[in-house]
Amino acid sequence: DKPAYMGGKDMTIKAVADRSTRQLLGIQIVGFEGVDKRIDVFVTAITLKAKVDDLFHLDLAYAPPFSTTKDPVMYTGMVLSNSIDKAARLITPAELQTRIDAGEDMQIIDTRKAAQFEKACVDCAVNVPLGNLREAAKDMDKNKPTVVYCNGGVTGNAAQNVLRNLGFTDVYNLSGGNKNYQLFKKYGN
């Protein structure tokens, strides 16, 4: 709902859109603060028959006490657009763990800062912060299945796009990032 340094807390957004028209159809949000603001924006978008791409390009007010640099509404548009286009493929923690347990040869890249990686990470992951990814990618196999992740999914999406633009052919973003993976490891499905 706002930056972590301002006491921000996670909000979970579920959005539904029509694949053929790309029109936003529905929304649900669970969170502690700022849910009403985001619902108002989404309802306005639905009323105006906005497309998911329109959400990412909204010019919403930014002030650290009330919002992150890019508002969760904008990120929701990005995720929906990627999902519809199937350009940005997601992998769930359960799917990833199944592949890890089967011993599949793949690259798992944690794009967070080293301090975050050291606290908790995905099994078999290597730490390559997003700022170093382009350089590190030179030493990676572009044809090997690759999973990228961050803490919640947004930076993982950026990392996925970086690798795809560098010619990687089989790249996934871990759905919900490390937070979701750690919850899966603790509680299961």
Q: Would you state the pLDDT for residue 87?
A: 67
> Which H or E run contains 91?
strand 89-91
pTM recorded for the entire structure: 0.76
- Position with higher pLDDT, 94 vs 10: 94
Report d(CA 106, CA 145) in Å as an integer.
5
12 and 58, same domain (yes or no): yes
Domain boundary pick from 51, 85, 119: 85
Contacts of 42 (CB under 8 A, 6+ apart): 15, 24, 27, 29, 73, 76
Q: Check whether 45 has a pLDDT greater than 70.
A: yes
* Whether residues 81 and 93 fall in one domain: no
pLDDT digits over 134-146, tens only?
999 999 999 999 9
**Domain co-membership, 128 together with 152:** yes
Q: Could you tell me if 58 and 97 lie in one domain?
A: no
According to DSSP, the residues that pair with 173 across neighbouring strands are 90, 148
Same domain? For 56 and 138 the reply is: no
Whether 96 and 38 map to the same domain: the answer is no
Spatial distance between the Cα atoms of 166 and 92, rounded to a whole number of angstroms: 24
Domain range for 154 is 89-187
Question: Which of 85, 114, 139 represents a domain boundary (last residue)?
Answer: 85
* Sheet order of strands, 126-127 included: 89-91, 171-174, 146-149, 107-110, 126-127
pLDDT at 153 over 80: no
Write the CATH number for 37: 3.30.390.30
pLDDT at 172: 94
Q: Are residue 183 and residue 113 in the same domain, yes or no?
A: yes
Confidence of residue 91 (pLDDT cuts 50, 70, 90): very high
For position 138, which CATH number holds? Answer: 3.40.250.10
Q: How many residues does the chain have?
A: 189
Question: Residue 57 has what pLDDT?
Answer: 87
| Residues of the chain above pLDDT 90, percent | 71
Quote the pLDDT of residue 169.
92
Domain count of the fold of the chain: 2
Over 90: is that where the pLDDT of 184 sits? yes
pLDDT digits (tens, 9 = 90+) for 101-133: 999 999 999 999 999 999 999 999 999 999 999
Are residues 146 and 179 both part of a single domain? yes
Average pLDDT over residues 81-103: 88
